[in-house]
Structure 1
């Protein structure tokens, strides 16, 4: 059963240390201040397990015993842990369809086809603009000439207003 996605998706992509996480935080804070429910998905390029973060919890005991997935709910919080070789982005987005979101901000997943804001920190990062699809804007640490809407990294108010007027419609 396919779930209908009723909210905009926005990707924030760039190379390591280009400011992706900081930008996502600013987008979430601005959206929250405007009264929106914003969910995020982060692509973590490193192999790690969340299991070590909560080893003494009953759900982790279930997981270690062989459960394919565990969910813990309490006090309005939900934690999911599941065994899979990889969570495809589309499945994560479908999972969020069960929640009341106004927007999903995705950090990473450069090859996905959703609208992207690309962060450019160094001159050599500009090649991203030729290899990525569905770019809607660029936020740059350096002055550049491009065909996309361009904001400099210190123009925070301008790019956040643009995101909520152009992307979140």
Structure 2
């Protein structure tokens, strides 16, 4: 397991909208946490999103120039860090995790699983650091390199554990 002071390995799951990234990621997270791994996630949402209201305290903190801004409630914490361009910048928040799975950030250069299903997905094959493709039709993509079926969550999880350099549980 990862030591509390070290930064965890980071693996990406990328693809176009509607490709099954979230479904695959949540199934893998559930499997790995059931095996005893401490798994964190980062979700890239390229469109703007406001989580606090103009005029409220956290909004005022951000307007004053603070960053990151955290809101801590009785049951959750939200951290707003203006314009993170690279998921590795967030890893200090994940100390003590065994693994961080990132949904998105296609252009980042971390090891990644790429969701491919349609002909339009072919351009994703030019991304850097691809460890495997994941598809609903793996036979169609195998000539491009390793390709796993998106329903074979055990194999996908095993590949992630291996790529992250984690010891078996």
- What count of residue pairs does the alignment treat as equivalent? 158
1:101 to 87, 93, 97: 97
TM-aligned CA distance change 1:78 to 1:23, over 3 Å: same
CA gap of 1:152–1:65, structure 2 versus 1, over 3 A, is closer
CA–CA separation in structure 2 for the residues paired with 1:30 and 1:56: 42
Task: Give the 3 Å change call, closer, same or farther, for CA 136–66 of structure 1 in structure 2.
Answer: same
**Residues 1:87 and 2:79 are matched in the alignment:** no
Unaligned runs of 5+ in 2: none
Per-residue deviation at 1:166?
4.0
Q: Residues 68 and 124 of structure 1: is their aligned pair in 2 closer, same or farther, counting only changes over 3 Å?
A: same
What root-mean-square deviation, in Å, do the aligned CA atoms of Structure 1 and Structure 2 show?
2.5
For 1:101 and 1:146, the matched residues in 2 are separated by: 35
Give the secondary-structure state (helix, strand or coil) at the position aligned to 1:164.
Answer: helix
Aligned counterpart in structure 2 of residue 68 of structure 1, from 63, 66, 69: 66
The unaligned stretches of length 5 or more in structure 1 are none
Cross-structure match for 1:150: 147
Q: 1-side partners of 2:18 and 2:153: how far apart?
A: 18
How far apart in 1 are the matches of 2:65 and 2:107? Answer: 31
Using the TM superposition, give the Cα deviation of residue 68 of structure 1 relative to its aligned residue in structure 2, in angstroms.
1.9
Partner of residue 110, structure 1: 106
TM-score by length of 2: 0.78
Q: Cα gap change, 1:102/1:57 in structure 2, threshold over 3 Å: closer, same or farther? A: farther
| Alpha-carbon offset, residue 110 of structure 1 | 0.8
Query: How far apart, CA to CA, are the structure 1 residues paired with 2:114 and 2:8?
Result: 21
- Please give the TM-score of this superposition, normalised by the length of structure 1: 0.78
Partners of 2:159 and 2:65 lie apart in 1 by 44
- Counting only pairs closer than 5 Å after superposition, residues 1-169 of structure 1 correspond to structure 2 as 6-52=7-53, 58-60=57-59, 62-63=60-61, 66=64, 68-69=66-67, 70-75=69-74, 77-82=76-81, 84=82, 86-89=83-86, 90-93=88-91, 95-97=92-94, 99-129=95-125, 131-142=126-137, 143-144=139-140, 145-169=142-166
Q: For residue 157 of structure 1, report the CA deviation from its aligned partner.
A: 2.5
